[in-house]
Amino acid sequence: MSALIDVSKLCSYIDKFKGVRQVVFGDLILDEYVWGSVERVSPEAPIVVVNVKSETLRLGGAANVANNMSKLGADVTICGVIGEDKIGSTCLDLLASEGIDPLGLVSDAERPTTKKTRVIASSQQIVRVDRESTDSISEEVMSKSLQEFSKVIKHSKGGVISDYGKGVVDNRLSPLLSSLKSTKEIGLNICPIVVDPKGYNYSKYIGATAIKPNKKEATEISGIRIKTKHDACEAANFIKSQGSYDVVMVTLGELGLILLEDNNKTTELDTIAQEVFDVTGAGDTVSAVFTLSLSVGASPEEAAILANCAAARVIREIGNATLEPDELKAVVEFWGKEF
């Protein structure tokens, strides 16, 4: 089925974002953008020479999810692991500047904070340089991290598991999620926990409320090559059966998204027509808005509509982007006029 737009109801949910408590658990990343222009080819090798004009630092990974939530008015605590290094200190400074509570973070002197550097010239990404470790986190550090997450979640209305495959999210998470689910501390109408997955191991997410793989991720885990929304529905059914999630949302890029709920209720949403500059971080925005919306009483379908509207806004900018409540309302109102 396709969704119908109730603009005033959707905007009322956006108003409720203010002050709602959220938790984000996952891989913290510092994103660096080096902006410049290309005017010549290097005489040393067949590569372009970028004349650097400016550099910017932005919160990435789980921190970008938290930043998206914070910009929309939520009170956010971030949980995970951070290195005792300059990159980690910069991340903490950026979190503080955005009003995001870092008290759920556990420091690890043996592990570097992940940093991704993107060199961009004439609106095109030339190269990306990653500094990271994907090794398993020690038992001691992981235990502390999960303890912090468990404490924070008891005072939250919703949360996101943001897995970027850097080692913070592993099989040690699932027993905690399952325990919280069994004691009804998390759940669709209590405290929804939404997973943004990575890789082939979905057993580590069991106990979560919802999961939102993209097209590539859903294809990898299900073995179903997704060319149509019907294919995506089959993949979503497979994923749902594996993890007993209440909701599975598969984002499909230019094809939009599909939402699978209990009783096999399926919703299909088309992409809102926009000029696309960059999809970097759009998945983080979708996770943030979808979770926030569920947290304030929106149905999964309504939450998906709001998340789809948010994605349409942030892909118009280069690099990680966020949006504020009035910007999200403007997209909802624009889309509503199309029906």
Residues 24-64: tens digit of each pLDDT: 999 999 999 999 999 899 999 998 999 999 999 999 999 99
Q: What is the rounded average pLDDT of the residues 181-199?
A: 96
Q: Is residue 44 part of a domain?
A: no
Could you list the beta-strand ranges (E) of the chain: 21-26, 28-41, 48-61, 75-83, 101-108, 114-121, 124-131, 158-162, 193-196, 210-211, 247-251, 257-260, 266-269
Structure tokens of 335? 């889309």
pLDDT of residue 276: 52
Q: Supply the residues annotated as catalytic.
A: 284
Dihedral of CA 276/217/296/153: which sign?
negative
Mean pLDDT score, 134-162? 96
Separation CA 185–CA 156 (nearest Å)? 10
CATH of the domain at 127: 3.40.1190.20
User: Rounded mean pLDDT of 144-163?
Assistant: 97
The boundaries of the domain holding residue 294 are: 7-37+50-336
Predicted confidence band of residue 313 (pLDDT cuts 50, 70, 90): confident
Res 300: pLDDT: 96
- Give the pair of three-digit tokens for residue 97: 């500047």
pLDDT digits (tens, 9 = 90+) for 218-242: 999 999 999 999 999 999 999 999 8
Q: Please, are residues 114 and 29 in contact by the beta-carbon 8 Å criterion?
A: yes
pLDDT score of 217 more than 70? yes
Amino acid at residue number 308: N
Per-residue pLDDT band for 1 (boundaries 50, 70, 90) equals: very low
Which residues touch 164 (CB under 8 Å, ≥6 apart)?
26, 27, 29, 61, 62, 114, 198
Residues 6+ apart with CB under 8 A from 56: 32, 33, 35, 319
More confidently predicted of 208 and 255: 208
101-140, pLDDT tens digit by residue? 999 999 999 999 999 999 999 888 999 999 999 998 999 9
Q: Is the pLDDT of residue 2 over 60?
A: no
Report phi then psi at 182, rounded to 5: -65, -30
Assess whether pLDDT exceeds 90 at residue 76. yes
DSSP classification of residue 109: T
Q: Strand pairing of 28-41 and 48-61?
A: antiparallel
Tokens matching residue 161:
């598991």
Q: Do residues 74 and 20 lie in contact, with contact meaning Cβ atoms separated by under 8 Å? A: yes
Residue 93 has pLDDT above 90, yes or no: yes
Structural domain total, the chain: 1
Q: Is residue 45 part of a domain?
A: no
In the chain, how many H helices and how many E strands? 10, 13
Give the confidence band of 191 by pLDDT, cuts at 50, 70, 90: very high
For residue 42, being part of any structural domain is answered with no
Task: Flag whether 311 is in a domain.
Answer: yes
Can you read off the two tokens belonging to residue 230?
């019907």
- The secondary structure of residue 203, as a DSSP letter, is G
Q: Is residue 2 part of a domain?
A: no
pLDDT per residue as tens digits for the range 258-299: 999 988 899 999 877 555 555 666 889 999 999 999 999 999
